[in-house]
Every structure is written in C-alpha cells, then in structure tokens.
Amino acid sequence: MAKLALRGVRKRFEGQDRDAVCAMDLEVLDGELLVLVGPSGCGKTTTLRIIGGLEDASAGEVWLGGRMVNGVAPKDRDVAFVFQNYALYPHMSAFDNMAFGLRMRGTPREEVRRRVEAAASLLGIAELLGRRPAQLSGGQRQRVAMGRAIVRQPQLFLFDEPLSNLDAQLRAQMRTEIKRLHHSLAATTVYVTHDQVEAMTLASRIVVMNAGRIEQIGAPAELYARPATRFVAGFIGSPAMNFVPCLLKANGAGLAVELAGAVTLPIPAARVPAFRAHAGRRLIFGLRPEHLAEHAAGVAGEAALWIEVEVLEPQGIETLAVGRLAGVELCARLPGSTSARRGARLGLNADMAHMHLIDPETDQVIR
C-alpha cells in the first residue's frame, strides 16, 4: 500500500464559472480508510476521478507512493476502482469478471486462479464464481466488483458510492463487510459517499466537502463532537443538529442564551470562558436532537423549554419528536416508550454541556 497526497489540486470544467474542486491539500496515510463526504455537487467524485486519472487536474499535483502521477494513465497508476454501477461484463462469469484485469496483464493462469479464489473466499462468494451477473443479487454483484479490485493488489482502492444502488438492509450489511475487508487487507482506501451515516461507520478519518472546498477533516467522533462550521454541524449526525437564533447574555458572573426570544438557558460554568467575549451578540445556538430529553412527569422542577409536537416518527427503540419553539423547528430524539403525543405540548430539558454557539457572520463554531 502507499501514501497519497494532493497538493493544491484544482479542477474547473470548461464553460463553468467556478471551480469544482478548489485548491485542495490532502494526505491519506498508508493503510488508512479516508471517506470524502458531502452533498451532491460538492466535488467529492471529481476529486476521486482526479486521483484515479479519469479526470485531469486544472492545477496542482497528485502523489502516490512517492511518485507524482499527473499525466500518468489510469492503468499505470496502480489503483483499483469500485463503482456504484458494478461495471461487470454481463456475458462473463463472476470468476472471469474478477480475473479479466489479471489476464490482460499476462498474469500466469495458476496465479490468476489462486488470487480469484482467495478474494472470493474473503468476500464469501466462492460458491458463486460460476454465475453470470444476471444470476446474482445486487449485493453479490458488488462483492464481485470488490473482488475484481482486490485481486489486482493495487497500491490504492477507490470506492465511488458503491452502496447507493442497494436497499437499506443490504447497505448496512455491506458497510460491515467493507469495514471487515479493510481490517483484513489494511488497504489504503479513498471512499466517496453522500451518506454521512456511511461515512461515520466506515472512516478512519472523514473529509467533509462543500462547494468544492474542504470544510473539516477529522475522525468521526471529532467531527460529531467538535464541528468547525455550521455546515459540518448540520451535515454530520442524523437527524441534523437543531439551530436556533439566540442572544448571548450576561447572567451575573455567568452567561445564558435567550433562544428565539422565548426561553433563557444558563451556560455551564466550564463553557463560559470560551464565550465571554461574545456576550451581548446575536448568535446561533446548536444542539443535537439526542441532547434534548423529555421532562418526565413527577420529576421536580420545570422543563427547560416546551414545544408543541407536530410530527412523531416512531423508529422502534426511539421516537423522533418534531415541534416548534417560538416558530423555530426543533427535533428531539426520545425513547420509543415516550408519552409524547401529536398536538400536545412536550416539556424538554437541554443538555447544555453539548451545546454549540455559531457566529452567523462567519458560520464558524465558537471554541
């Protein structure tokens, strides 16, 4: 495997008035599984295609294994793609699809057989090698496509939204298979997805992209707990973080936030020093749905805030409750056994240890 580095990589397509990828600097460590995530059109697939040689960069350098590969043909970069649409030859068996690239390189027949059978065993499709793609399920076809990449033993694996065509249950299963495969191969991998749950599940590190730019790079837990921008805070986590306009007010020796002009919540003492310089400003208050808890009946004290429930989404072990606080939508993640009812008022308590304040002028999260 090998280290990958992008240095000032930029891409602008002909006829476009802005860059699809904007001066990207990025390093992928040897053996790392790096996930590029972001909404459609953010530049993640274009970045992957530049790495693989399917697109030429407008500027900048791509380095793989200590070699600059700008201008090097895809077949000579020693990378392997796994695509969303499988890209299998319909007239060939699974064995022949996996073996095709090796045969084109003149690999000896016995070595071809050994590599294909080893990859098929690793992927749990050894008994399917004689079947053609039409005789396979979507998940089995994707395993064959992955096997075709594995047998090449490349320096770098590139995955372009490989699970998008699968149903929800199969996607979850294949996520587990891909993670297990990465642990087994210790393969340097760049994986593109628009699904932040997929990104959080698979990644060693995540690159969050927006409008061709990198918003933040970090481990999944870091991006969840310490987002750098409003975009990252809203994109990472499902359901998305709640955002409420607020006024940061002095509260004796401490601070408090007045939410939407309706509710005032004190900020924990440990968080006050980070925010004191912003007292008196109008900011954006952020809190994840899982940090809003139902105020149980009979518990001493009043609920911190109240919403009128507009939508309930039962999901088995949990229920999402969506309502409004002074006209601003809030979502709370509650236990499946919640007593909340549509149309009724619901008392909630906020875990302020997990709150964020965002500067509306810069969209940066205040540290």
Digitized pLDDT (tens) for each residue of the chain, 367 residues in all: 579 999 999 999 999 899 999 999 999 999 999 999 999 999 999 999 999 999 999 999 999 999 999 999 998 999 999 988 888 999 999 999 999 999 998 999 999 999 999 999 989 899 999 999 999 998 899 999 999 999 998 999 999 999 888 888 888 888 988 898 888 888 899 999 999 889 999 999 999 999 999 999 999 999 999 999 999 999 999 899 999 999 999 988 899 999 988 899 999 999 999 999 999 999 999 999 999 999 876 565 678 899 999 999 999 999 999 999 989 999 999 999 998 999 999 999 999 999 999 999 999 999 8
Q: How far is the C-alpha of 27 from the C-alpha of 57, rounded, in Å?
A: 16
For 367, residues 6+ apart whose C-beta sits below 8 A from its C-beta are 274
With residue 296 as reference, give the H or E element that holds it: none
Which domains does the chain carry? 4-227 (3.40.50.300), 242-358 (2.40.50.140)
Amino acid at 156: L
Name the strands in the sheet holding 242-251, side by side, starting at the edge strand that comes first in the sequence: 263-266, 254-259, 242-251, 282-287, 356-358
DSSP state of 365: B
User: Whole-angstrom Cα distance, residue 338 to residue 92?
Assistant: 54
pTM exceeds cut of 0.85? yes
Contact assessment for residue 255 and residue 279, using Cβ atoms and an 8 Å cutoff: yes
Which residue from 359, 362, 367 is spatially nearest to 243, judged by alpha carbons? Answer: 359
Q: Measure Cα distances from 146 to 30, 86, 97, 328 in Å.
A: 20, 9, 11, 45
The pair of three-digit structure tokens given for residue 48, joined into one six-digit string? 């992957």
DSSP code at position 2: -
Give the largest CA-CA distance in the chain: 80
**What is the pLDDT at residue 297?**
66
CA–CA separation, 207 vs 33, rounded Å? 11
Q: Which residue has the tokens 């954006």?
A: 284
Task: Compute the half-sphere exposure of residue 337: CA atoms within 13 Å on the CB side of its CA.
Answer: 1
Residue type at 187 in one-letter notation: A
Strand partners of residue 209: 214
- Rounded to the nearest 10°, the torsion over CA 197, 201, 204, 209 is -10
Cα dihedral 21, 25, 30, 34 sign: negative
In whole angstroms, give the CA distance from residue 331 to residue 348: 11
Query: Cβ-count burial of 83 within 10 angstroms (0-12 exposed, 13-18 middle, 19+ buried)?
Result: middle
Give the Cα separation of 237 and 89 in Å (integer). 38
Q: Where are the beta strands (DSSP E) in the chain?
A: 4-11, 21-28, 33-37, 59-64, 67-68, 79-82, 156-160, 189-193, 205-210, 213-218, 242-251, 254-259, 263-266, 282-287, 292-294, 305-314, 318-325, 328-335, 345-350, 356-358
Residue 171 identity: R
